[in-house]
Chains A and B, each alone.
Chain A
Amino acid sequence: MRLALVACGLLVALLPWVIPPFVTFQLTYVAAYAIAILGLVILIGYSGQISLGHGAFMAIGGYTAAILLAGAGIGYWVSIPLAALLAGIVGIGLGFVALRLAGVYLALATLALAASVPPLLKRFKALTGGVQGLSLPSPHAPGPLQPFVSSETWFYYLTWALAAVAFALAWFVLRGRVGRSLRALRDSEIAAVAFGVNPVFYKTLAFGWSAAYAGIAGAIIAIVTAYASPDVYSVALSLELLIGVVIGGLHSFLGAILGGIVVEFLPLWAQKINPAVESVVYGVALILVVIFAPGGLAGGLSRLARALRIQATPRSRPASTIEAISEKSA
């Protein structure tokens, strides 16, 4: 496992030196989307709450970074954490609302948030630049590094490093008490409460945490695009994130990365088929996944790997503990 992670890390580290810069640029967005979708994995997959409004948290993060950078000249080292903090606080606020709502009502409330943020951004023109948005200084690698890495490569590394931190944090926190409590609440709130799990704390925590991740993603996108405007964080973005997490896999970290790839590349691939039917391609992909791979691409891949392994080694052997548990829970 450790070796596999190291190999993956090396792969990510070496890629920018062999692929064209614009692909490096696209993979930076993949990492940003993966962070946001990891937030949805935590929220939907682990805590069982839904959000159709994560685009709004990305907008909060994006505008926080943009206002700090364009207005006050505060660098991304400070502005990205602040973006996460602010989005997280708003997320906790929405978490309290979510306590009173469930299912389709929560979906509608979060959708309303996603729909109301772009007009709000247009209204406070002095702060947000209105419809024209805010243009940021072009992103560059720090001075001493500039001869060695391009700005694309630099932000690729920065974003993937942030993604690694986000994933590692999620892994450490979710494997322990918090993860157990969240899953218990998701499966049966009454039983979980009976065992002493505090639903208010854990549910709002999940919302805040997940929103903070979306805030980081929004900040990164504002910084690498050097721009923030209401069109960037439209309702469609929230829906794309949701489609990404469903196609990628709701219950797995790998699913978050696959979801990031889907959100970034599906529109680009779809328009090669026919630009007018992009949303149809989205819909078909979604339906196919829901029917044939309910666990998303990540779930499908692990099933496929298991099937291949059984074919390759016909003699039965005891499944590892983790697999046994995941099979039981599935």
Chain B
Amino acid sequence: MSIRRFTIIALTAILALAAGAVLTVPAASQAVTGVTATEIVIGGTHPYSGPASAYSSIGKGAQAYFAYVNDKGGVAGRKITYKDLDDAYNPPQSLQLVKQLVEQDKVFAIFNSLGTPVNTVLRPYLNEKQVPQLFVATGATTWGRDASKFPWTIGWQPDYEAESLIYAKNVLAHEPSAKIAVLYQNDDYGQDYLKGLQNGLGAKASMIVKTASYETTDPDVKAQVASLKASGADTFFIFATPKFATQALVAAAQLSWKTKVYLNSVSNSQVVMKAATTQGGPAATTGVVSVIYLKDPTDPRYANDSGLALYKQIMAKYVPGGDVNDQFYLYGMGAAFTFVDALQKAGKDLTREKVMQAAIHLHETDNPFVIPGVIVQTSPDDRFPIRQEQLAQYDGTRWGLIGSLMTARR
């Protein structure tokens, strides 16, 4: 191609663009962005590729629940279209996708975008544009705590601090003379847990006799567990992600540390418990205490549960081939249920303000995917939708609920 021809093409393109700019008439402004008489368009991002892609089941679960709701007639006659995109757990990519969703696809709201870093990046943009950022999939405390700065954002799952507060309550009530040792991951996630425990114990925070931390780059945590045991503690808190939690459970058993173990909910899946039992023997996991807020699809207690029956029915119809035991699907459906609930509350004349108001005035007693008794509720002063959890004890093969539902004190 000669230079001259290239120049002519380029200049023509410029003229065409300029003409386009002049002639572009602003589209007739819709009453409410993303809402028509028959459709509500919402967006979100989950990692469908990359190292965190195990979480993609959450997006698929939510998508399946919306399909189910649509087949039953939708919300106030409107079908929900959920444009859920792959951000590979990469914050800049998520921000670009969300800008596209807001500006090009004109979504009504962003729902359940996943990951603390991702949502940290999305939050200022969405709040500036006054687009609801609803029920984000992360357990950081900031979503509920910093609402005065970011009123358009709200979380869903119990936050890490809240969980620790429940443990603290239990310790104070039943083991007031415990000597506590804590293993935690040295980042915001682990520190949120530790802070919650310290705050929950309050004046009796000196019950914590020793803490030890690890980095995600450490090969194992055996040395930390040994030093914690040497402190003479009789209660062992594990605030660790699955790999390190397994190591800690096994190490405590191998060191024959006779201790009561509390394990954070991040790592209480059957996968972790079975691995720890195999490697460390039944002593590694029997009697371990944790908390639960979602129903466990493998638990025979729920064999006749209508919520789990609905879950399995939706899975069979809309996620054929999906692993029913993968609790992330259930999580996605639980959050989607709350979103639909908020839409219904917001009424027929849907606006972003109304749905945001509905999201901070939740009182949901019938979410089929959370354990019985958990009420998903919010108020303008309390933007933590789920803060009830129930203590559970592992009997060597499965979790058994103990006591009654507990609410984190704030």
Contacts and interface: CB of A to CB of B under 8 A. Distances in A.
A146 interface: no
Interface stretch (B94-102, B223-231, B365-373): B94-102
Nearest to B17: A18
Contacts of A125: 186-187
Q: Could you say which of A7, A20, A135 has the most chain B C-beta atoms within 10 Å of its C-beta?
A: A7
B217 A119 contact: yes
Contacts of A119: 215-217
Specify the main secondary structure of chain A where it touches its partner.
helix
A10 B18 CA distance: 11
A279 B53 CA distance: 12
Contacts of B316: none
B68 to A, nearest CB: 21
Specify the main secondary structure of chain B where it touches its partner.
helix
B120 A133 contact: yes
Interface in B118-169: 120-121, 124-125, 128, 140
Given A10-B14, A227-B91, A26 B85 contact: no
A231 interface: yes
Interface string A1-13: 1011001101100
A10 B1 CA distance: 20
B1 A309 contact: yes
Interface stretch (A77-85, A203-211, A270-278): A270-278
A135 B116 CA distance: 12
B99 A122 contact: no
Contacts of A15: 17
A324 B125 CA distance: 52
A130 B188 contact: yes
B6 A236 contact: no
Given A29-B92, A231-B90, A18 B121 contact: no
A11 B97 CA distance: 25
Nearest to B116: A132
B189 interface: yes
Given A1-B3, A122-B216, A231-B90, A135 B120 contact: yes
B294 to A, nearest CB: 24
Given A122-B215, A122-B216, 9 more contacts: A10-B11, A123-B215, A225-B92, A227-B117, A229-B117, A236-B88, A268-B97, A275-B48, A276-B49
Interface of A: 1, 3-4, 7-8, 10-11, 14-15, 17-18, 20-22, 25-26, 29, 119, 122-123, 125, 130-133, 135, 138, 221, 225-227, 229, 231-232, 234, 236, 267-268, 271, 275-276, 278-279, 305, 308-309
10 shortest interchain CB distances as A-B pairs: A7-B10, A275-B48, A22-B99, A275-B86, A305-B1, A119-B217, A18-B21, A22-B103, A131-B187, A278-B49
18 contacts: A18-B18, A21-B99, A29-B96, A123-B217, A132-B187, A133-B120, A135-B124, A138-B125, A227-B95, A227-B121, A231-B89, A232-B90, A236-B90, A268-B97, A271-B49, A278-B48, A278-B88, A305-B1
